[in-house]
Amino acid sequence: MTRDPEILCKKLGLHFNNMQLFKMALTHRSMGAHNNERLEFLGDSILGFVVAEKLHKMFPEASEGVLSRLRASLVNQGALADLARKLNIGDYLILGSGELKSGGFRRDSILSDAVEAIIGALFKDQGIEICRQWVLDMLQDKLDSLSLDNWQKDPKTQLQELMQSKKLDLPDYTLITMSGLPHEQTFKVKCTIPLSDKSCIGSGVSRKKAEQDAAEQMLALLKREQS
């Protein structure tokens, strides 16, 4: 049974004047003609614009090619699907019976499309300023961890090199939970750093992705403390 979309709306920190727009954003094409594809089309363009604008301000010396690759690292299908999983959007998707049976609520393409559709719906409901702020809030940790020196390196490598530069032991990654069916598992991993009580818990569809997520959160936390 699909959960009440209004619950998700509150969890996302959103308030819609027209709640039907938000429900439409969660409705997959397997439900028929009234689905989220048009909102996804709109949200995809808005997301690209908002991220491009932010990166343009963050890295005034970066070339067009570097900015394009930075943007792609934030708005690709896998990154958006991971964001959807963190926000538990899959639990609220409105899917046809076939997609429900095949586990469509866990599929990267469906999850990422739903994120973009929510962005499109928010734009139509409240305009670009509210939409921009919500997008940037959702991507804050990823944006905080970006730099021109390390953007090509994965978060675990970046965190390892940071610890080595401080002559500290390497970060520790501990598997906390592993849940779900064998082909639909979710992993949670805790990342801790030496000589500190700080820890971050990441999640993903594999242990490796969960570790990368935890490392990315730790990098963002350390960067905020230094700023």
Question: Which positions are catalytic?
Answer: 44, 116
**149 is written with which tokens?**
């020196």
Measured in whole angstroms, how far is the alpha carbon of residue 134 from the centre of its chain?
Answer: 12
> How far, CA to CA in Å, does 61 sit from each of 64, 66, 142?
10, 10, 20
113 labeled binding residue: yes
CB within 8 Å of 130: residues ≥ 6 apart: 122
Residue 53 DSSP SS3? helix
- How many CB atoms are closer than 10 A to CB 47? 23
| Count of positions (residues) in the chain | 227
Q: Residue 186's beta-bridge partner residues?
A: 179
C-alpha–C-alpha distance, residues 156 and 158, integer Å = 5
40 labeled binding residue: yes
| Residue set of the binding site for Mg(2+) | 40, 113, 116
